[in-house]
Amino acid sequence: MLELTAEEAAIAAGSEGPGAAMAMRIVAETARLMGAPRLLPVASAHIDGALYHGDSGTLFAEKLVEGGARVAIRSTLNVGALSPAGCAAIRLPPHQRDMAARMMRAYEAMGCEPSWTCAPYQAGHRPALGSDVAWGESNAVVFCNSVLGARTNRYGDFLDIACAIAGRAPDYGLHRPENRVATLLIDARPLSQALRASDVFYPVLGTLLGRFAGTAVAVIEGLQGCTTEDRLKALGAASASAGGVGLFHIAGVTPEAPDALTALAGLAPRETLVLTPDRVGDALAGLSTAGETDRVDAVAIGSPHLSLAEITEVEQRLAGRRLAVPLYVNTGRHVVGPLEQQGRRAALEQAGIVFVVDTCVVVTPILPEIDGAVLMTNSGKFAHYAPGNTGYAVTYGSLAECVESAAAGRLVREPRAWC
């Protein structure tokens, strides 16, 4: 049975105003529903609920503001529906545009940082190993748990801001060490070193992980020496889209898995998935929905938001060429700022790159409406969501293939050995 401290009970009763009281009651009621015995103090929050999905979300945020609510901890903001930092034209009708803007202003009024990125860990928000936090946005949650070793559940819209205001989260799920133990093993060792060290592999692996694990915790063996933060970002995002993954371990790479046996707490795995070239090839093919076509109407990369290193790679691969179809680069203001200071953004835009800042093409209408359109991407998350959210069929490929296809105006494939 949930027990609140005297301070928590007082806040819920209104000692710090109606906004804080509403937030504390939401967190407490969630804890009761989840069977949590208490609330945990949390060090920070990442807020996904500031993305406009309807007027009720805006009115909820404004109600908190009217009640004097302020975040009690560091709280960054996920992507919004608009782009204060500037990007491609957004095709929201006037009423929706106004409500989205009001929503974004309300969250900033509560003291949230206007980071507007789905990759806050790239923008300096990196909680300490073992710390409890309350993060929303599926890819950010899995990165926070897996790569940083902080502890959070997948906090949904509006519960995330309630936790940020209360400075508390329910003590259940991945906050508890016993629930962070792996029960599944994925063995990547049968695959070639070249494949395991390729960028294109990680969204595919994430898709396999999400489908195999669901919401369970898995440890992956065989990726030592092959990963980068950007690859782990892509892996986590795809796994959280294809399944409900909130935490994975990689033996010898992630902080809670010096080896597979430790991640498994010394126990035999409940299930083992051995990766083969055929299994990986099937998952690769499944990320494309456009069928056998060379058509490419647009290319979109950056879900999660591109890092500065990834944009530098795009720049190098572009090598001064002009693009035949638009290449939408989704990223955050923390990346675009340095690009502008260095004079690089303008040159990239002249080449045909369209920067999408503070938001992305899958969560707000930016892509032009084209019958039978095909979107090419290197993102497993985009591949999962784009058909339903944008109406575009998807062709999945590597970053190199995306750049070459944008330059050629048609699908370009590079030689690839999935073995």
Residue 395: φ, ψ to 5°: -115, 125
Which ranges constitute the DSSP H helices of 71-226?
Answer: 94-109, 138-143, 159-166, 193-196, 201-213
Instruction: Enumerate the β-bridge partners of residue 249.
Output: 219
In this prediction, residue 418 has a pLDDT band, given cuts at 50, 70 and 90, of: low
In this prediction, residue 28 has a pLDDT band, given cuts at 50, 70 and 90, of: very high
Q: How many CB atoms lie within 10 A of CB 120?
A: 31
Region 197-213: mean pLDDT is 97
Q: How many CB atoms lie within 10 A of CB 29?
A: 15
Residue 396: φ, ψ to 5°: -95, 140
Q: What is the pTM of this model?
A: 0.96
**CATH class name, domain 298-408:** alpha beta
- List the CATH code of the domain at 6-176: 3.30.499
What whole-number distance in Å separates Cα of residue 183 and Cα of residue 180? Answer: 9
* pLDDT at residue 153 greater than cutoff 60: yes
Region 246-268: mean pLDDT is 98
In this prediction, residue 111 has a pLDDT band, given cuts at 50, 70 and 90, of: very high
* pLDDT at residue 419 greater than cutoff 80: no
What whole-number distance in Å separates Cα of residue 66 and Cα of residue 61? Answer: 9
For the ranges 77-86, 92-101, 334-343, 382-391, the lowest mean pLDDT is seen at 77-86
pLDDT at 84: 78
Same topology, domains 6-176 and 298-408? Answer is yes
Peptide bond between residue 304 and the one before it cis (omega within 30 degrees of 0): yes
* pLDDT at residue 147 greater than cutoff 60: yes
pLDDT at 87: 66
Region 50-70: mean pLDDT is 97
Q: For all residues of the chain together, what is the average pLDDT?
A: 96
What are the domain boundaries of the chain? Answer: 6-176, 181-286, 298-408
In this prediction, residue 243 has a pLDDT band, given cuts at 50, 70 and 90, of: very high
- Joined tokens for residue 124: 């300096």
